[in-house]
């Protein structure tokens, strides 16, 4: 995988996370949002390796495909519902089209889940978004990659969702 494509995918993941952090309506006017504490996760397996993200709580990139898995939490009072947050994240990519919309369960909590296709820097991409609320925390799990590589590691994202637990 070329370095340019890896950079595009990291940019894509960062863009989605920035949109998620900017679209939540908060009632507390000062300071950054707290992050969810004591999260227990099953980290993605090799070929996924951790990388530093300025916006995600934690993030991983596949050294094989360039696909990314990340999660973002924001613990503040908010009026947003999980469907709206997921839809806002979907709008982060150009020409976004919702391929599938569903409800699920993450750690026994209702989740809004979207499968989205679109483009980033003229590359066809897909993104899976799962948003749920745990106490006063809004948590978004995101998997994204190039369209032709997306399905190769989708099962790793499903394992990540199934192994995600909050207090």
* pLDDT bracket for residue 27 (50, 70, 90): very low
Three-class HEC string of 45-63 = CCCEEECCCCCCCEEEEEC
Residue 56 backbone dihedrals phi, psi, to 5 degrees: -80, 150
pLDDT of residue 10: 55
* pLDDT bracket for residue 93 (50, 70, 90): confident
Question: Strand pairing partners for 149?
Answer: none
Domain assignment present for residue 48? The answer is yes
pLDDT of residue 77: 79
Q: Is the pLDDT of residue 29 over 50?
A: no
pLDDT of residue 167: 72
Q: Is the pLDDT of residue 52 over 50?
A: yes
Domain assignment present for residue 34? The answer is yes
Domain assignment present for residue 167? The answer is no
pLDDT digits (tens, 9 = 90+) for 107-162: 999 999 999 999 988 899 999 999 999 888 899 999 999 999 999 999 999 999 99
pLDDT of residue 12: 52
Tokens of residue 50, six digits: 């951790």
Here the CATH number for the domain that contains residue 124 is: 3.40.1000.10
**Beta strand pairing call for 109-120 and 137-146:** unpaired
Query: What is the tally of structural domains in the chain?
Result: 1
Give the separation between CA 164 and CA 70, rounded to whole angstroms: 11
What b/e sequence results for 95-107 when a residue is b if at least 16 CB atoms lie within 10 Å of its CB, and e otherwise? ebeeeeeeeeebb
* pLDDT bracket for residue 37 (50, 70, 90): confident
Domain assignment present for residue 99? The answer is yes
Contact 106, 132 (CB under 8 A): yes
In which domain, by residue range, is 49 found?
Answer: 3-162
């Amino acid at each position: 995988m070329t370095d340019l494509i890896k950079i595009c995918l990291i940019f894509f993941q960062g863009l989605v996370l920035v949109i998620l952090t900017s679209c939540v309506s908060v009632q507390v006017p000062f300071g950054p949002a707290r992050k969810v504490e004591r999260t227990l996760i099953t980290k993605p397996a090799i070929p996924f390796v951790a990388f530093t993200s300025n916006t995600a709580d934690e993030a991983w990139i596949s050294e094989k495909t360039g696909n990314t898995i990340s999660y973002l939490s924001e613990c503040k009072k908010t009026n947003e519902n999980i469907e709206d947050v997921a839809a806002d994240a979907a709008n982060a990519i150009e020409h976004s089209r919702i391929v599938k919309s569903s409800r699920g369960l993450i750690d026994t909590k209702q989740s809004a889940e979207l499968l989205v296709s679109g483009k980033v820097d003229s590359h066809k991409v897909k993104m899976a978004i799962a948003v749920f609320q745990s106490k006063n925390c809004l948590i978004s799990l995101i998997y994204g990659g190039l369209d032709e590589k997306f399905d190769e590691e989708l099962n790793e994202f499903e394992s990540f969702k199934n192994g995600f637990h909050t207090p």
